[in-house]
């Protein structure tokens, strides 16, 4: 059984039923179910997630990308500070990056003030954080590999050779 094939299907459609996966792949349904369970138990499948266009809902979420310069202590590496920052619920992603900065965060709040206070009070005050640069997100066009544009209608003819 090709594990990647199952993962690819689930990544495209997390709501899909194992019976449906069995039909798409030709594998027995019981095997598909047990393989999915293994993938969940081993942490390969971390979570089933939806990509929501919150702008369309009218929800006033504000996102910001925060770049941090880190000074490492004697006994702590990037993993320690990253883990600490990742615990804040406002923080949606934490990445170690190359270039002028060390960590890149995505932070979500309800207003500019929300995000600014969070960064100033919770992040900038951490001992290892040397400096922060905040970029507010004005519009999201693509999220997690999903474009948030309106779908084009099919332009194919109804019958072709």
- Closest CB to other proteins among residues 46, 155: 155
- Cα 33 to Cα 6, 36, 108: the distances in Å are 10, 5, 35
Around Cβ 14, how many Cβ atoms within 10 Å? 12
Two tokens, residue 90: 């406002």
- Closest CB to other proteins among residues 50, 158: 158
Q: Which of 7, 9, 45, 126 binds other proteins (CB under 8 A)?
A: 9
Q: Which of 87, 89, 98, 160 binds other proteins (CB under 8 A)?
A: 160
Task: Report 135-154 residues binding other proteins (CB under 8 A).
Answer: 154
Instruction: State the Cα angle at 59 between 54 and 62, rounded to 5°.
Output: 80
What is the DSSP code (8-state) at residue 124? T
Q: Which of 3, 24, 51, 52 binds other proteins (CB under 8 A)?
A: 24
Stretch that binds other proteins, among 3-11, 29-37, 64-72, 115-123 (CB under 8 A): 3-11
Q: Is 25 in the site for other proteins (CB under 8 A)?
A: yes
- Cα 89 to Cα 85, 92, 108, 113: the distances in Å are 9, 7, 9, 17
CB of 35 to other proteins, least distance (A): 16
């Amino acid at each position: 059984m090709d594990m990647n094939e199952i993962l690819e299907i689930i990544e495209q459609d997390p709501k899909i039923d194992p019976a449906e996966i069995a039909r798409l792949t030709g594998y027995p349904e019981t095997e598909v179910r047990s393989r999915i369970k293994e993938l969940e138990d081993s942490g390969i499948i971390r979570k089933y997630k939806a990509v929501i266009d919150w702008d369309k809902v009218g929800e006033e979420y504000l996102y910001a990308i925060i770049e941090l310069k880190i000074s490492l202590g004697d006994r702590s590496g990037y993993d320690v500070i990253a883990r600490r920052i990742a615990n804040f619920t406002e923080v949606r992603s934490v990445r170690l990056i190359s270039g002028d900065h060390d960590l890149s965060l995505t932070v979500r709040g309800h207003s500019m003030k929300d995000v600014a206070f969070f960064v100033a009070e919770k992040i900038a005050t951490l001992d290892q954080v040397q400096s922060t640069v905040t970029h507010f997100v004005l519009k999201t066009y693509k999220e997690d590999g999903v474009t948030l544009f309106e779908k084009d209608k099919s332009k194919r003819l109804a019958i072709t050779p």
